Structure 1
Amino acid sequence: MIHGSVVALVTPMTASGAIDYAALARLVEYHVSSGTHGIVAVGTTGESPTLDMDEHVGVIAEVVRRVDGRLPVIGGTGANSTSEAIELTRAAADVGVDACLLVTPYYNKPTQEGLYRHFLAIAEAAPIPNILYNVPGRTACDLVTETTLRLALVPNIIGLKDATGSLERATELLSRCPADFWLFSGEDAVAAELMLRGYRGVISVTANVAPKAMAEMCEAALAGRREEALALDAPLQALHRDLFVESNPIPVKWALAELGLIEDGIRLPLTPLSAAHHATLHAALRQASLL
């Protein structure tokens, strides 16, 4: 059962940009031991746009192997090409993921009918649990509620990662989606409130650097313990905000490197965090008692 704090895992890299599989193994163990409830491998936080097909599937396969059934693993397999998304989703299913996360097609701006047909084609071609991912701020494409409801009728489309950050949208989704259609927050800053209202978890950037705190906050929120959940979330609010001072995953990879968990490697066109933001991230890490 996928729930709680699901980390949108970074893909660790060396200074040259090569994938650092030793660091990937350490990150998996870090999350298992810290209480993280699930892992998304090679989502957009995992720099999926700059990994080639072999690397993409290879990282997912390595996460599945290292997790070894201890946590659910979700493969990030979305693309703005339907055929590419089908190929990635089939490959992720073959290496043993529990579900796939499918971002809305970016840049080409399909119609709502195009979105429906895109996700339907993937679901029919790869009969594995599919979780849709709506993040209009990054994709220039919004999966509206009516289209989500149509797709919720497809048997293996099981949920939605909602990164609109809108409480109004969340209220609409909660009131209209089937009870067995899982809703996950894609925005750390509102995740506690959304889980208190009925979302089943968060697919989280903050959990990369604060896995134990995020897991504890999610457990309290899912149990309906409002005051405790909000108290646990308060020290994380600066991280929720400041891990986006530059485009994700630039700040979170820098923070992980500062914590000694990975090298500060990232691929172009992304670049290392600007020096002007170092003090801001240090302050956020200290507020969360990570430094």
Structure 2
Amino acid sequence: MKSELKGILSAILTPFGKGGTAIDERAYAQLIRSQLDAGIHGIVASGSTGEHPALTVAERKRLFEIAIETASGKMDVIAHVGSNNVRDALDLARHARNVGVDQMLVVTPYFDRLKFAEVQKFLDKIAGIAGGPIIYYDTPSITGLDISEEQMVVLKRDGLVSHIKDSPASFTRTMRMLSNPEAPTVLAGSDPALLAVLAHGAPGSIIGASTFIPELCVELYDRIAVDKDLPSALEVWARLWPILNFMLLNGYVPLAKAGSALRGLPLGDPREPMTPTPADLRDRLKSILDKAGVKTLAIAA
């Protein structure tokens, strides 16, 4: 598995046809090409923004295949293989390794609150299939796990985890890990902390909004991580944050799909139990996008 990751790594949406009965493979390939054209550094297939709980194992495997075929080695492809069913997670990891993904992202089974020894055992199986350490998806609000900085150091030391998609409830541990060379590499995984974590030295991020506003996210990364120009980064953030905040308050995935459609790349509605964005929220989103200077995407056929 790839040990160095950087830049904006999009947890991309999963397009569905009418009624949500099947994946729209053509739209998925178009989405990936639009990410490439916008300068996105990598994509995460079948992540949370990609509605992984609503996908079958076969559908998730197909997303891995399309992502590899379409990216053609031009950007990193990360497969999210997490599941509440350990057997499914291991099956997905084997398929991801077979199709040649660059890295794997995994959330631990999230119905039961696991003990740390159980987390280690699970990650050891995934890393064994992957052939090396993987990205741990840390999201305590979903898993109920609050893994300490010291435990994260153990996961890295034991060769299980190289990176962490950091989506914590508190960012005290985040700041400590960013300053700890023995901890896994932090990738910003929470929209509100995106600028702060990149400014503190994280090499990249995994968020979903870059699916439909990729150029703004790439611009933020370039200003803060490449140019080290905080004033310019704050100007970009002033345009980006109202969009992120509106999504966080009003339905992240449905609004990401509505935003993509507004920009000229319709990806269908989310699958149940989520519902499409109401017209009034869609109109408010359009106003926010207009104010931020977000235009129609140039979509390759």
Match of 1:289 among 279, 287, 293: 293
Could you say which residue in structure 1 is the equivalent of 2:298? none
1:187 partner amino acid: S
Quote the offset at 1:138 in angstroms. Answer: 3.2
Any residues of structure 2 matched to 1:152-163 within 5 Å, and which? 152-155=156-159, 157-163=161-167
1:43-70 deviations in whole A, cap 9, x for unaligned? 1111111111111000111011000000
Maintained 8 Å contact 2:254/2:269: no
Match of 1:91 among 95, 100, 105: 95
- Return the TM-score normalized by structure 1: 0.93
Q: Structure 1 pair 217/159, CA: closer, same or farther in 2 (3 Å)?
A: same
Any residues of structure 2 matched to 1:106-255 within 5 Å, and which? 106-155=110-159, 157-164=161-168, 166-178=170-182, 181-223=184-226, 224-255=228-259
C-alpha distance in structure 1 between counterparts of 2:12 and 2:263, whole Å = 15
Quote the offset at 1:129 in angstroms. Answer: 4.4
C-alpha distance in structure 1 between counterparts of 2:285 and 2:141, whole Å = 22
2:221 partner amino acid: C
Q: Identify unmatched segments of 5+ residues in structure 2.
A: 296-301
Q: Partner of 2:19: helix, strand, or coil?
A: coil
Maintained 8 Å contact 1:161/1:203: yes
Q: Structure 1 pair 89/8, CA: closer, same or farther in 2 (3 Å)?
A: same
Q: Partner of 1:12: helix, strand, or coil?
A: coil
Maintained 8 Å contact 1:209/1:252: yes
Maintained 8 Å contact 1:3/1:200: yes
Could you say which residue in structure 1 is the equivalent of 2:8? 5
- Return the TM-score normalized by structure 2: 0.90
Could you say which residue in structure 2 is the equivalent of 1:21? 25
1:193 partner amino acid: A
Maintained 8 Å contact 1:244/1:251: no
2:70 partner amino acid: R
Q: Partner of 1:183: helix, strand, or coil?
A: strand
Q: Partner of 2:157: helix, strand, or coil?
A: coil
C-alpha distance in structure 1 between counterparts of 2:72 and 2:237, whole Å = 30
Question: Which region of structure 1 is more displaced relative to structure 2, 15-24 or 219-228?
Answer: 219-228
C-alpha distance in structure 1 between counterparts of 2:56 and 2:62, whole Å = 10
Quote the offset at 1:199 in angstroms. Answer: 0.9
1:266 partner amino acid: P
1:89-108 deviations in whole A, cap 9, x for unaligned? 11111111100011132121
Maintained 8 Å contact 2:124/2:160: no
Quote the offset at 1:156 in angstroms. Answer: 5.3
1:233-267 deviations in whole A, cap 9, x for unaligned? 21000111112234431211121122220243221
C-alpha distance in structure 1 between counterparts of 2:235 and 2:41, whole Å = 20
Indicate the percent of aligned positions where both proteins have the same amino acid.
29
Q: Partner of 1:35: helix, strand, or coil?
A: coil
C-alpha distance in structure 2 between counterparts of 1:177 and 1:104, whole Å = 24
Q: Partner of 1:45: helix, strand, or coil?
A: coil
1:49 partner amino acid: P
Match of 1:75 among 73, 79, 92: 79
Question: Which region of structure 1 is more displaced relative to structure 2, 207-216 or 67-76?
Answer: 207-216
C-alpha distance in structure 2 between counterparts of 1:281 and 1:149, whole Å = 41
